[in-house]
């Protein structure tokens, strides 16, 4: 796992390789700041801090974060929190996120995260692109047929109700 920091007087950008799944969203913003074919792959001198911040916020996984040092606005968590299933891939979450295990150990606190929904990730609960190896196919609008007409939870296909 690599964590790198890139900075100038105006902004500091942090990149966490353990969360990066090569979506390329940061590159597609067209800022020129991010280019994995170049070394260093982050060049903050190629855009204003506002443009850098916009490109960082395009990263859906939270692998990229920034800290403004020039008094410019820090990233604010989106409200309401949104959870968007990426076709045949992870859940992209944006909002005020804290990811922890059952004992309360916190893995991630931040405004963006990409959560595995195929079950194959070796970096649970985050997506690590293993869904591509396994050929995961989603069914994003799947609904048990009787859900629309259910009059109580027991009517829903596959329902398991608690005892008592």
List residues binding ligand FES (CB under 6 A).
89-90, 116-118, 120-121, 127-131
Query: Is residue 68 a contact partner of residue 74, using CB atoms and an 8 Å limit?
Result: yes
The contact pattern for ligand SF4, residues 21-40, with x = CB under 6 A and - = no contact, is xxxxxx--------------
Query: Is residue 95 a contact partner of residue 113, using CB atoms and an 8 Å limit?
Result: no
Q: How many degrees, rounded to 5, is the angle at CA 100 between CA 163 and CA 108? A: 150
DSSP per-residue codes, 87-109? TTS-EEEEEEEEEE-TT--EEEE
Residue closer to ligand SF4 (CB basis): 49 or 112: 112
61 lies in the binding site for ligand SF4 (CB under 6 A): yes
Closest of 7, 11, 6 to residue 71, by C-alpha = 11
Q: Provide the minimum distance between the beta carbon of 76 and ligand FES in the complex, in angstroms, as a whole number.
A: 27
Please work out the total of residues on this chain that contact ligand SF4, with binding judged by CB under 6 A. Answer: 11
Q: What residue 112 binds from ligand SF4, ligand FES, none (CB within 5 to 8 A, per partner kind)?
A: none
Q: Provide the minimum distance between the beta carbon of 91 and ligand FES in the complex, in angstroms, as a whole number.
A: 8
């Amino acid at each position: 796992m690599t964590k790198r920091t890139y900075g100038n007087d105006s902004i500091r950008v942090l990149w966490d390789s353990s969360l990066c799944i090569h979506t390329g969203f940061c590159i597609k913003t067209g800022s020129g700041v991010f280019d994995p074919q170049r070394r260093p792959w982050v060049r903050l001198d190629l855009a204003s801090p506002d443009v850098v911040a916009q490109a960082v916020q395009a990263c859906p996984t939270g692998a990229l974060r920034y800290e403004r040092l020039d008094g410019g606005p820090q990233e604010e968590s989106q409200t309401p929190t949104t959870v968007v299933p990426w076709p045949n891939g992870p859940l992209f979450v944006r909002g005020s996120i804290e990811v922890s295990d059952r004992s309360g150990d916190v893995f991630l606190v931040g405004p963006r995260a990409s959560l595995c929904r195929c079950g194959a990730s070796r970096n649970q609960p985050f997506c690590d692109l293993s869904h591509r190896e396994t050929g995961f196919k989603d069914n994003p609008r799947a609904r048990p047929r009787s859900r629309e007409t259910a009059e109580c939870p027991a009517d829903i296909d596959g329902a398991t109700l608690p005892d008592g």
